Amino acid sequence: MNVLFLCTGNSCRSILGEATFNHLAPPGWKALSAGSRPTGQVHPRSLALLAREGISTEGCHSKSWDELPITPDIVITVCASAAGETCPAYLGPVLRTHWGVDDPAHATGSDAEIDAAFLHAYRRLRARIEAFLALPLAELQNDRTHLKVELDRIGTLLP
């Protein structure tokens, strides 16, 4: 199963989701990330945070959803709708869910405050990914309705 983490810029949250999912996922599950309007570069703080967490960033780069090598089975949008941020609508026959996370790229303040925003985004995504991977995945692959319900529920979890 292929999971796409999707946001607008594909520089922070979707990259954090892709790398973390691939770090934790069982065999047969793979994540990708993309943006509807990619920035063209991964935010250096995202890369630094993943390195500190011992998560590989090999292959992570900011890219358009038009460049995906495969069609995803599941699309997880990670933009923060509550903050007035518009999430891209992925067009395709896939299961969609929304896991809103504030964009740490827009954080202001001291270096410590900005780093804290990145860590908060990472922890929220990681908690949701861990909840996703704790589901009976083999069973849910054949029950898309139940999988959608579970993914939507996970999107409301706060660490």
7 is catalytic: yes
User: Tens-of-pLDDT digits for all 159 residues of the chain?
Assistant: 999 999 989 999 999 999 999 999 999 999 999 988 899 999 999 999 999 999 999 989 999 988 888 889 999 999 875 445 566 676 677 899 999 999 999 999 999 999 999 999 999 999 999 999 999 999 998 999 999 999 999 999 887
Catalytic residue among 79, 121, 140, 154: 79
12 is catalytic: no
Catalytic residue among 47, 68, 87, 107: 87
Catalytic residue among 3, 4, 6, 7: 7
What's residue 113's pLDDT?
97
Give the 3-state secondary structure of the chain. Answer: CEEEEEECCCCCHHHHHHHHHHHHCCCCCEEEEEECCCCCCCCHHHHHHHHHCCCCCCCCCCCEHHHCCCCCCEEEECCCHHHCCCCCCCCCCCEEEECCCCCHHHCCCCHHHHHHHHHHHHHHHHHHHHHHHCCCHHHHCCCHHHHHHHHHHHCCCCC
